[in-house]
Amino acid sequence: MRPEQQAAAADSFAPFQQALTQGWEKALESFQSLGAGGNAGAPWEMPKFSLSTEKLQQLQQQYVEEATELWRQDLAARAGGDRRFAGEAWGSNPVSAFSAAVYLLNTRTLLGMAEAVEADEKTRSRLRFAVEQWTAASAPSNYFAFNAEAMKKALDTQGESIAKGIRNLLHDVQQGHLSMTDESAFEVGRNVATTEGSVVFENELFQLLEYKPLTAKVYERPLLLVPPCINKFYILDLQPENSLIRYAVEQGHRVFVVSWRNPDASMAQYTWDRYIEDAAIKAIQVTREITGQDKKGGQIDTLGFCVGGTILSTALAVLAARGEQPAASVTLLTTLLDFVDTGVLDIFIDEGFVQFREMQMGQGGLLQGGELASTFSFLRPNDLVWNYVVGNYLKGETPPPFDLLYWNSDATNLPGPMYCWYLRNTYHENKLAQPGALTVAGEKIDLGRIEAPVYIYGSREDHIVPIGGAYASTQVLSGKKRFVMGASGHIAGVINPPAKKKRSHWIRADGKLPKTQAEWLAGAIEHPGSWWTDWSAWLKTHAGKQIPAPKTYGKGSAYKAIEPAPGRYVKAKA
């Protein structure tokens, strides 16, 4: 833009600048009145908060200056580095480019206003989350009339992309959820969850899978894996090259895995106690009996992932209260025991929300898997929601096959009473980490009474189980502990096979476990590649001597092979 054009643009913008200032002042009045009312102690009411006048004045001045400056910038530069607006089509379309630039300015300003709020941290987090959700949904890239790339594609394909987008929308409406991958490319048992094995036990809550040894000898102590019940177990067995289950089998372990039943109406009354007594404790018992570890105090190695780790630890605490120590070792992957740091999920949890859930399903009912899946997706709305809305519907694209996203879309239900107990006693009141505060399966439990050595893993960028929350388990458990931090998030950090040579992990050579994760990290050393090899070396020291691998599944007439792995429970849809 030439100097004379810039001057003309500035002159033409002057009335709009005045309107901006007036509009800003009215917006501040509305925002301040919002925080003036309500009662922070009453459920469902807006908590009181105030705003920093100094910060708001700075935001106002900055907003007007940046809005004015938009008229002097090149169109291609207006959208900054946001990948939603990074395509060439955005820079060559003046209307779209300007709408993107104004949107980004408004987003920055709204987030700045949320940061200017003077209130408790939970209120600030909730306001910030609400602003992030609203701005993510209102992005011009989400609407065909403003999306330069979608319009260009419609022109280039002579409208075919629009027709495909409508077909994609109708398909997703019919299936009941947004497609993140080409789900027709996968089938459980055919090309995911394919490690060879058999179901050797089942009840109304779970099937127990035993996997075929891949070595001539196995360690005498079997390894029992307890995955989260809010997802399907095959996140640990996606493809042969990224299967933690197969990796453990290849290392010479006799591996057993809990495959949770996807709850239906017949399980609407099931409680947390049933999940502990009739599932986790039962799986430990059966695994010991099949492998002969039920005799003379024999033990097994155990692993829990996410909520599965919480369930496993609770079960071991119940058994400890009964005078039993069946675990030779415990591995906890991205697990919360002390719920002092629950990250972004904390914004949902307060007494009003918990009471509502208890009224809704505390005495019976199901938490639908689709609701759980939507909640987790909207924790990262741009990546896990609107990205696919734009691609699938506005551009008429079919998302490529991706095993992890197929698993992510394979939702599971939860029994209402079980979910409500978990919500109140862990996330809300944080009683699990308090010795004797909870009675589970008839026993007052104390996690500190679990004597087994523990391998605790946390992911650095985990938004479900923050790294500080994962580390907090080191201060709760009393056995000898090893803490390892991996790069990436909740899933990608865990599912990181050594052959990929990706990411890093951190370990303290001195083995010290100070009070906080930040203190621990100050003395930790970064190691390239997967943490799996470190875990494997640690686990072998607790697995006992090697013995000839079994020739058959199960044991005698009591535990016969029922059906091939992965079994039918995992195939049930929510």
Last residue within a domain, chosen from 83, 112, 144: 144
Question: CB–CB of 192/406 below 8 Å?
Answer: yes
Mean pLDDT of 545-552: 96
Whether residue 212 is found in the same domain as residue 114? no
Residues labelled catalytic = 306
Whether residue 447 is found in the same domain as residue 530? yes
Whether residue 264 is found in the same domain as residue 136? no
pLDDT at 72: 55
Please check whether residue 39 lies inside any domain of the structure: yes
When comparing pLDDT for 38 and 411, which is higher? 411
| Rounded CA separation 364/99 (Å) | 49
pLDDT tens, residue by residue, 388-410:
999 999 999 999 999 999 999 99
pLDDT at 13: 45
Please check whether residue 509 lies inside any domain of the structure: yes
Question: CB–CB of 38/48 below 8 Å?
Answer: yes
Q: How confident is the model at residue 553 (pLDDT cuts 50, 70, 90)?
A: very high
β-pairing, 217-219 vs 197-202, is: unpaired
pLDDT tens, residue by residue, 175-231:
888 999 999 999 999 999 999 999 999 999 999 999 999 999 999 999 999 999 999
| Residue 15 identity (one-letter amino acid) | P
pLDDT at 77: 53
Please check whether residue 155 lies inside any domain of the structure: no
Please check whether residue 352 lies inside any domain of the structure: no
Most confident by average pLDDT, 62-76, 309-323, 335-349? 309-323
Whether residue 505 is found in the same domain as residue 566? yes
96's enclosing H/E stretch is helix 94-115
Question: CB–CB of 532/499 below 8 Å?
Answer: no
150-154, 210-214, 533-537: which has the minimum mean pLDDT? 150-154
Mean pLDDT of 262-268: 96
| Rounded CA separation 78/150 (Å) | 19
Residue 31 clears pLDDT 60, i.e. is over it: no
Tell me the CATH number at 237. Answer: 3.40.50.1820
Please check whether residue 207 lies inside any domain of the structure: yes
Mean pLDDT of the chain: 89
Q: How confident is the model at residue 59 (pLDDT cuts 50, 70, 90)?
A: confident
pLDDT at 43: 47
pLDDT at 96: 81
Number of domains making up the chain: 2
pLDDT at 6: 47
Domain that holds residue 68: 3-144
Residue 83 clears pLDDT 90, i.e. is over it: no
Percentage of the chain modeled with pLDDT above 70: 88
Last residue within a domain, chosen from 109, 144, 179: 144
pLDDT at 164: 95
Please check whether residue 376 lies inside any domain of the structure: no
pLDDT tens, residue by residue, 465-492:
999 999 999 999 999 999 999 999 999 9
Please check whether residue 521 lies inside any domain of the structure: yes
pLDDT at 71: 55
3-state helix, strand, coil in the chain (%, to 5): 50, 15, 40
| Rounded CA separation 321/439 (Å) | 10
Whether residue 131 is found in the same domain as residue 227? no
Q: Comparing C-alpha atoms, which of 141, 142, 144, 152 is closest to residue 92?
A: 152
Axis-axis angle for helices 94-115, 121-137 (nearest 10): 170
Mean pLDDT of 272-286: 98
Whether residue 105 is found in the same domain as residue 240? no
pLDDT tens, residue by residue, 352-375:
999 999 999 999 999 999 888 888
Residue 1 clears pLDDT 50, i.e. is over it: no
Burial (0-12, 13-18, 19+ Cβ within 10 Å), 296: exposed
Please check whether residue 157 lies inside any domain of the structure: no
Q: pTM for this one?
A: 0.88
Whether residue 314 is found in the same domain as residue 442? yes
| Rounded CA separation 525/481 (Å) | 17
Phi-psi region of 394 (alpha: psi -120 to 50; beta: other; left: phi over 0): alpha
What are the strands, taking DSSP E only, across 282-346? 300-305, 327-333
pLDDT tens, residue by residue, 434-449:
999 999 999 999 999 9
Residue 82 clears pLDDT 90, i.e. is over it: no
Last residue within a domain, chosen from 144, 161, 181: 144
Whether residue 307 is found in the same domain as residue 442? yes
What are the strands, taking DSSP E only, across 170-247? 197-202, 206-211, 217-219, 223-226
Of how many residues is the chain composed? 574
Mean pLDDT of 153-159: 93
Q: How confident is the model at residue 39 (pLDDT cuts 50, 70, 90)?
A: very low
Mean pLDDT of 252-261: 98
Whether residue 131 is found in the same domain as residue 201? no
pLDDT at 42: 43
Measured in degrees and rounded to the nearest 5, phi and psi for residue 528 equal: -70, 150
Q: How confident is the model at residue 5 (pLDDT cuts 50, 70, 90)?
A: very low
166: number of CA atoms within 13 Å, CB side?
5
Question: CB–CB of 248/533 below 8 Å?
Answer: no
| Rounded CA separation 207/365 (Å) | 22
Question: CB–CB of 13/68 below 8 Å?
Answer: yes
Burial (0-12, 13-18, 19+ Cβ within 10 Å), 527: middle
Whether residue 231 is found in the same domain as residue 86? no
Instruction: Specify the residue for token string 């621990």.
Output: 520
pLDDT at 190: 95
pLDDT at 374: 86
Percentage of the chain modeled with pLDDT above 90: 71
pLDDT at 125: 87
Residue 25 clears pLDDT 70, i.e. is over it: no
pLDDT tens, residue by residue, 163-183:
999 999 999 999 888 999 999
